[in-house]
Amino acid sequence: MLHTQHPVDQPTLLEVFATGDLTGSSRRYEKHITDMAGVYLSEASWSQQVSTAAADTLVYSVNEQKYQDGSGALIIGTSTVLPGTYGDEYAVTRGHLHTTSDRAELYYCLSGKGVMLLDTVDGDSQAIELTAGKAVNVPGQWVHRSVNVGTEPFVTLFCYSADAGQNYGIISDAGGMKTLVVHDGDAGWTTIPNPRHIGYTRGQTS
């Protein structure tokens, strides 16, 4: 007979929609265009869009369920990145490395067309295209950011350890990620080196 020290939590049902709606989520947060100061290489394009918007434009949102705490628990949610460009650069999330940096994450594309942009602290870089039905398993030690390279919202379902945490400063301290995802004419998207990137420092990451 198995014994448990604590009452066992009950399973929960989530209903996940291609729009990013998530029935059963416990938290929602939104990022607006003014939250993205300093993120894009073309600050002129970003500031021009800030100044001409009637209100502080929503650029991405997250719905998530954090049901339990601890190293064995999961955070499950949806991320919705709205389409946009700043200069040639496609709309991105701020991106992060997990504070407990060995924690992996699943991203499964529900709708739209996007790229998961991935860097290691040591200088490897990858850009993986996602469309509905495709997923990427992001291992630990990879800085990651979602990029919308389409004309519709880019919506992903994500799942990661509840004790992972997010280190956002590692990207801003590095001058941005190693590459930029940019418009490439009729060919769609491509990556180019980010001229402001000065390399990552591990900082307080474990």
Residue whose beta carbon is closest to Fe ion: 105
Alpha carbons 159 and 67: distance in angstroms, whole number: 12
* Nearer to Fe ion among residue 49 and residue 156 (C-beta): 156
Measured between alpha carbons, how far is 71 from 81 in angstroms, rounded to an integer? 28
Query: Shortest distance, CB of residue 158 to Fe ion, whole angstroms?
Result: 7
Residue 10 Cβ vs Fe ion, minimum distance, rounded to whole Å:
26
Find the radius of gyration of the CA atoms of the chain: 18
Contact positions toward Fe ion, by CB under 5 A? 105
Least distance between Fe ion and beta carbon 166 (Å)? 6
**Nearest residue (CB) to Fe ion, 85 versus 100:** 100
b/e sequence 133-144, b meaning 16+ C-beta within 10 Å? eebbebeebbbb
Beta bridge partners of 116: 128, 146
Min dist. Cβ of residue 89 to Fe ion (A): 21
- Report the nearest approach of Fe ion to the CB of residue 144 (Å): 6
Q: How many helices (H) and strands (E) does the chain have?
A: 2, 17
Q: Looking at beta carbons only, is 138 or 181 nearer to Fe ion? A: 138
C-beta of 159: minimal distance to Fe ion in Å? 10
* Cα distance from N-terminal residue to C-terminal residue, the chain: 38
Looking at the Cβ atoms of 165 and 175, the one nearer to Fe ion is 165
Cα 77–Cα 29–Cα 134 angle in degrees, nearest 5: 35
What does 111-141 look like in DSSP terms, one character per residue?
ESEEEEEEEETTS-EEEEEEETT-EEEE-TT
| Closer Cβ to Fe ion, 105 or 119, answer by number | 105
Residue with smaller CB distance to Fe ion, 64 or 105: 105
Rounded to an integer, what distance in angstroms lies between the CA atom of residue 202 and that of residue 195? 20
